[in-house]
Amino acid sequence: MIDITMPALSPTMETGTLSKWLVKIGDAVKSGDVLAEIETDKATMEVESIDEGVVAELVVAAGTEGVPVGQVILRLGAEGEAVVAKAAPALALVAPVVAEVPVAPVVNASPSPGSAAPSPTSPPRGEVDGARVVASPLARRIAQLQGVDLTTLSGSGPNGRIVRADVEAALTSPRRGEVGLGKAEPGEGPAKPAAPAPAPAAPAPAAPFTTDIPHTAEKLGNVRKVIARRLTEAKQTVPHFYLTNDVRIDALLKLRGELNAALEPRKIKLSVNDMVIKALALALRQCPKANVSFAGDQLISYTRADISVAVAAPNGLITPIIVGADAKPLSVIASEMQALATKAREGKLQPHEYQGGTASVSNLGMYGIKQFDAVINPPQGMILAVGAGEKRPYVVGDALAIATVMTVTGSFDHRAIDGADGAELMAAFKALIEAPLGLVA
């Protein structure tokens, strides 16, 4: 039998959702055939078989969330091997897989004198199912180490599953020392010494959110969960500092119009954002001290500017990358950005198209946002937040005039980039935008 496991489809992926099976039991598959659709922390992707055989068992049901990387999801019968096909369970109750602890059969089930028989309506302890006790792997390990009999416990987890808190509650209970927990039966030798006190239990989970306000609730998908975790880590662990500049873009808009007229026969249309990407890439090349990443006891300095661009997709924010933007013509950047944005919104980006990058651009100008501060995308050292271009009073030379001005704010990782180096980058970016022929030279 050949096991197919949940693959790691991105460096940050720890679990995935098995969205849909594309094969059924009895199907013959060969290497390269698509088996399933997996929702990762970034996108929904197809998983291909790396072996040949006949689908013998769908171990994980379609729609199961939180399947750990490395867990078996499908089994193939090798050629010539006798196969007993098994379907996936209709519903996956928990993930990872529930541990099942064998229980010795009961010879005499009648209650001992003085003991109360269990009520037929009360939930069975540990969700005993025939000769099995359903418990989480961690609860089982703790029980084995501490000598706790799982058949004496009632589970508080989903569907009566015994979890870590149930075992730890038994360890700290005043009744510790009863049958199954270390007390000797009459006629036996002295009781075994009590096990050492367990480590302090984890903090109790926060109470469920409640409100009287009419509302709807939607379960978070993998992408939104990862966004929440990574942004929290970024704000808690990366010391941000911010630098803001007002940039006049009249010359840029004029050049954009001329370039679009020239590119019209090729059906290429430049956006302001395409020119911003190019300007940031060139500025990073001019100011290499800002094109860096903090890596513990190392400072990583890049010799190429790969620009991640924030795109709002239905499942959440994702940042496809323009690789080597400093060396690419504006027409190529525009074509690549249009293709990547379409794939991002359709959830079809491949890992190499969104993993990496040396710096990021987040542009909310199309929504009329004047200025904002963006959160750094680790391990990158900076991100540029771009606001809307708007007509404002502006000093041109010694005179006050009306100009089209765009406010940009750089967020910098102070562990890797000093204030003066960040300021140098912002000045270089401003110069390229205000004298935009440098973008096509």
Instruction: Supply the pLDDT for residue 196.
Output: 56
**Residue 86 belongs to some domain of the structure:** no
Strands 359-363 and 307-309: parallel
**Residue 294 belongs to some domain of the structure:** yes
**82-91, 119-128, 242-251, 308-317: least confidently modelled range:** 119-128
- How confident is the model over 6-56, as pLDDT tens digits? 888 776 678 888 888 999 998 888 888 889 988 876 677 788 887 888 998
Mean pLDDT for all residues in the chain:
81
**Residue 220 belongs to some domain of the structure:** no
CA distances to 146, 200, 295, 331, 388 from 197, rounded to whole Å, are 9, 9, 39, 67, 60
**Residue 210 belongs to some domain of the structure:** no
Structure tokens at 406: 């765009």
Structural domain that includes position 52: 2-77
DSSP state letter for 397: T
Instruction: Supply the pLDDT for residue 104.
Output: 36
Instruction: Supply the pLDDT for residue 360.
Output: 97
**224-233, 285-294, 323-332: least confidently modelled range:** 224-233
Mean pLDDT confidence for 384-400: 94
Name the pTM for this structure: 0.60
Whether 167 and 258 share a structural domain: no
Mean pLDDT confidence for 59-80: 85
Instruction: Supply the pLDDT for residue 365.
Output: 95
Instruction: Supply the pLDDT for residue 189.
Output: 46
- Domain boundary among the residues 77, 103, 138 is at 77
Catalytic residue among 215, 240, 352, 414: 414
Instruction: Supply the pLDDT for residue 201.
Output: 60
**Residue 311 belongs to some domain of the structure:** yes
CA distances to 16, 65, 85, 89, 139 from 37, rounded to whole Å, are 10, 12, 21, 18, 32
Catalytic annotation present for 414: yes
Could you tell me the CATH number of the domain that includes residue 179? 4.10.320.10
> Based on the structure, what is the number of domains in the chain?
3
Of residues 265 and 173, more confidence is placed in: 265
**193-197, 289-293, 433-437: least confidently modelled range:** 193-197
Of residues 68 and 148, more confidence is placed in: 68
- Domain boundary among the residues 77, 111, 134 is at 77
The answer to whether residue 90 scores a pLDDT higher than 70 is no
Whether 291 and 400 share a structural domain: yes
The amino acid occupying position 243 is L
Mean pLDDT confidence for 118-126: 43
Whether 398 and 337 share a structural domain: yes
The answer to whether residue 154 scores a pLDDT higher than 50 is yes
Could you tell me the CATH number of the domain that includes residue 34? 2.40.50.100
| Residue among 295, 309, 323 at smallest CA distance from 381 | 295
Share of the chain above pLDDT 70, in %: 77
Whether 72 and 130 share a structural domain: no
Could you tell me the CATH number of the domain that includes residue 262? 3.30.559.10
Whether 184 and 323 share a structural domain: no
- How confident is the model over 207-220, as pLDDT tens digits? 778 899 999 988 87
Whether 363 and 245 share a structural domain: yes
**Residue 259 belongs to some domain of the structure:** yes
